[in-house]
Amino acid sequence: MKIVDAKVVVTSPGRNFVTLKITTDEGISGLGDATLNGRELSVASYLRDHVAPLLIGIDPHRIEDTWQSLYRGAYWRRGPVTMAAIAAVDVALWDIKAKAAGLPLYQLLGGASRERVGTYGHASGQDIPELFDSIRARLAEGYPSIRIQTGIPGLKAVYGVHTADHAVDGAPIPHQGARPLVEDWDTSAYLRHMPTVFEAVRNEFGPELPLLHDAHHRLTPIQAAQLGKDLEPYRLFWLEDCTPAEDQNALRLVRGHTTTPLAIGEVFNSLYDYQTLVSEKLIDYVRSAVTHFGGVSPLRKLFDFAAQHQIKSGIHGPEDISPVGMAAAVHLDLAIHNFGIQEYSGYTALTEEVFPHAYTFTSGYLHPGEAPGIGVELNEDLAAAHEYKAAYLPVNRLQDGTVHDW
């Protein structure tokens, strides 16, 4: 079998997605997700201009060799753009291999280690009553675990909380527009408020509901240690991204002070980003997505490394991972032994139409389905009808105007 075409499709059925479609001379094609929120066109160009020409004529079954040649052969290693592009190739080749074998991808990864894949959904509210309503809505949808985010008294817009009036500083509607929205932040107010939120949620919903929280890289190590200690009575499933992700040593300090479980890694793109964290058991869950970590091949290696240290998976899965990236994640989730949880917030109806898929979401649990490959199609006509629209993640500023981590 030989690759005869590698095509990049950028579509925006509500938000931007970058998809790679690799076609072979035997008529089998495979899809990979290369979406990088807010920097989509750079990955599209990397694939179109620098990777696609290298793929033509090669044997799609040589997944590891192709991965290594794209990684080592470019000389410039790692980084989100490179690794999202390599991820798309890797997943498209796994899709082709599994289709050629007539098997769903999870069978090639060792077969099912469980019957279904447990997820967590997102609940948020400007205040506690609104948060309670949102938790009730997620519970009604069947989610077994819930991430909670709230507004902070005195702040207008905070990560994870969707407001009707998101147009802070006159910026256009959320996500779409030529410039990012600006959110505001006050770490002391946040640190005072969060324990009261968890106390209220535990009082209302009881001790059993698994609760997660994302601090979105906003704390110093000692602030994170303080928050972890303050949240210990509420027995979180995990506290995510408590410090900026680049500094692995920061987690050593946090870990030394708190037993609140820690998750990190959605912005990582290499096994090397985890070397200290995993080998010193400084975290409990690895958060990387197939889409941003170079694909199924390296993520599988990360999970095996993590397993030696009793660390579990918690694959990143918000709406900016396309259904192609989500499908690849669900196959891995089903197959690996050290699965922890899968983030899943669903997609708009239009996105589901652009990417019809075999995976199912039933009462809070995902299953990859039995279609050969990863089990996702791309409706190219519908994709073409929804062109790329410039859209950016917000930036965060302290109340004196200083830029802070978002």
Query: Which partner from the list ligand KDG, Mg ion, none does 320 bind, CB cut-off 5 to 8 Å by kind?
Result: ligand KDG
Which one among 183, 184, 273, 320 touches ligand KDG, defined by CB under 6 A?
320
Quick check: 184 binds Mg ion (CB under 5 A)? Answer: no
Which one among 112, 128, 393, 395 touches ligand KDG, defined by CB under 6 A?
393
Distance CA 213, CA 363 (A): 21
Number of residues that bind Mg ion (CB under 5 A): 2
In the stretch 216-255, what mask flags binding to ligand KDG with x, by CB under 6 A?
A: x---------------------------------------
Give me the least distance between CB of 324 and ligand KDG, in Å please.
Answer: 16
Q: Which of positions 16-45 make contact with ligand KDG (CB under 6 A)?
A: 37
Give me the least distance between CB of 379 and Mg ion, in Å please.
Answer: 29
Q: Which of 159, 285, 344, 365 is catalytic?
A: 159
User: What are the backbone dihedrals phi and psi of residue 31, each rounded to the nearest 5 degrees, phi first?
Assistant: -115, 145
Give me the least distance between CB of 116 and ligand KDG, in Å please.
Answer: 21
Contacts of 154 (CB under 8 A, 6+ apart): 186, 189
Give me the least distance between CB of 214 and ligand KDG, in Å please.
Answer: 5
Quick check: 214 binds Mg ion (CB under 5 A)? Answer: yes
Quick check: 343 binds ligand KDG (CB under 6 A)? Answer: yes
Q: Which of positions 262-281 make contact with ligand KDG (CB under 6 A)?
A: 266
Tell me the two tokens of residue 329. Answer: 């994640």
User: What are the backbone dihedrals phi and psi of residue 362, each rounded to the nearest 5 degrees, phi first?
Assistant: -130, 115
Distance CA 296, CA 332 (A): 7
Distance CA 126, CA 155 (A): 10
Residue located via tokens 């996702």: 376
The question of whether 46 is a catalytic residue gets the answer no
Distance CA 220, CA 225 (A): 9
Residue 17 or 67 having the CB closest to ligand KDG:
17
Query: Which partner from the list ligand KDG, Mg ion, none does 175 bind, CB cut-off 5 to 8 Å by kind?
Result: none
Which one among 144, 177, 318, 372 touches ligand KDG, defined by CB under 6 A?
318
CB burial of residue 148 (10 Å; 0-12, 13-18, 19+) = buried
Which range in 150-158, 174-182, 315-323, 354-362 contacts ligand KDG by CB under 6 A? 315-323
Give me the least distance between CB of 399 and ligand KDG, in Å please.
Answer: 22
Quick check: 319 binds Mg ion (CB under 5 A)? Answer: no
The single-letter code of the amino acid at 10 is V
The question of whether 217 is a catalytic residue gets the answer no
Q: Where are the beta strands (DSSP E) in 319-373?
A: 341-343, 360-362, 365-367
Cα 37 to chain centroid, rounded: 11
Give me the least distance between CB of 151 and Mg ion, in Å please.
Answer: 17
Query: Which partner from the list ligand KDG, Mg ion, none does 318 bind, CB cut-off 5 to 8 Å by kind?
Result: ligand KDG
9 in Cβ contact with 19 (< 8 Å): yes
Distance CA 324, CA 286 (A): 20
Residue located via tokens 């997660």: 212
Q: Which of positions 249-288 make contact with Mg ion (CB under 5 A)?
A: 266
Q: For the chain, how big is the Rg over CA atoms in Å?
A: 21
Instruction: With residue 32 as reference, give the H or E element that holds it.
Output: strand 29-33
End-to-end CA distance of the chain: 45
Give me the least distance between CB of 215 and ligand KDG, in Å please.
Answer: 10
DSSP output for 66-98: HHHHHHHHTSS--SHHHHHHHHHHHHHHHHHHH
Q: Which of 175, 193, 216, 367 is catalytic?
A: 216
Quick check: 395 binds ligand KDG (CB under 6 A)? Answer: no
C-alpha torsion angle, residues 286, 287, 291, 294 (rounded to 10) = -30
Residues binding Mg ion (CB under 5 A): 214, 266
Residues binding ligand KDG (CB under 6 A): 37, 214, 216, 266, 316, 318, 320, 343, 393
Which residues belong to the active site?
A: 159, 216
